[in-house]
């Protein structure tokens, strides 16, 4: 069956989760420009019923987790992932999908979808702000055709190691994309319906638009 974006005149629906984070309107505009019908919403029916869900996030790991929990966002994300419904996390919306975040010596539990702890980047200059290259996973759908492009980062914390227990060899392991600033860190993960980027596609110009279009094709 053809994907929604490959059928003339049919645009996928995407909900951008409105849970109190900043930077949501630029994400809405970018996903609309990539070809989706977008709704900024905190309505559970809209969040659960959309073809895709985008979870943006800026600021501190702990405050984003608290806002997601209090708004019901963590439950909705979990339900979508359990049902095979696509989700894309951006920046801190990427970070909270891991086990935990450590900021100023304080550990905050994350959603635990993936192993790893968000920790300070060991770089001479932080935040890591500006354009950087990435090393995409082989066969990546998100980075198809844009493997050599640069993307826009703004962050001081990241996951710097990856240990994934495959368990069932019949299951495809997550695809992990890396970048470097002071140390190697995880720039993106693709794991079935759940994808996320540490960088900001909505601030990454043509490369970011291409990545969002690639994600819409997976819906």
The one catalytic residue in 91, 113, 155, 190 is 91
The one catalytic residue in 104, 163, 200, 217 is 200
Element (H, E) at 58: none
Query: Within the chain, what is the greatest distance between any pair of CA atoms?
Result: 52
Residue 94 is among the residues annotated as catalytic for this protein: no
Measured in degrees and rounded to the nearest 5, phi and psi for residue 95 equal -65, -40
Q: What angle do CA 91, 68, 116 make, to 5 degrees?
A: 50
Share of the chain residues as helix, strand and coil, in percent rounded to the nearest 5 = 30, 30, 40
Element (H, E) at 62: helix 61-71
Nearest to 91 by CA among 7, 158, 160: 158
The one catalytic residue in 113, 119, 190, 202 is 202
Query: Known catalytic residues?
Result: 91, 200, 202
């Amino acid at each position: 069956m053809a994907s929604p974006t490959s059928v003339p005149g049919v645009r996928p629906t995407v909900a951008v989760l409105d849970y109190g984070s900043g930077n949501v309107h630029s994400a809405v505009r970018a996903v609309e420009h990539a070809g989706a019908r977008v709704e900024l919403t905190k309505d559970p029916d809209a969040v659960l019923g959309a073809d895709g869900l985008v979870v943006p996030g800026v600021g501190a790991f702990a405050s984003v987790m608290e806002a997601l929990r209090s708004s019901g966002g963590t439950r909705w994300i979990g339900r979508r992932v359990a049902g095979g419904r696509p989700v894309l996390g951006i920046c801190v919306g990427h970070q909270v999908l891991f086990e935990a975040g450590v900021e100023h010596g304080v550990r905050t539990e994350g959603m635990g979808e993936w192993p790893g702890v968000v920790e300070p980047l060991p770089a001479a200059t932080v935040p890591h702000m500006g354009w950087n290259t990435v090393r995409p996973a082989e066969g990546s759908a998100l980075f198809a055709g844009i493997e050599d492009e640069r993307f826009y980062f703004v962050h001081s914390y990241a996951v710097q190691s990856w240990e994934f227990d495959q368990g069932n060899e019949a299951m495809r392991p997550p695809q992990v994309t890396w970048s470097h600033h002071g140390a190697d860190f995880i720039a993106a993960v693709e794991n079935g319906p759940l994808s996320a980027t540490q960088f900001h596609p909505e601030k990454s110009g043509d490369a970011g638009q291409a990545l969002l279009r690639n994600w819409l094709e997976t819906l």
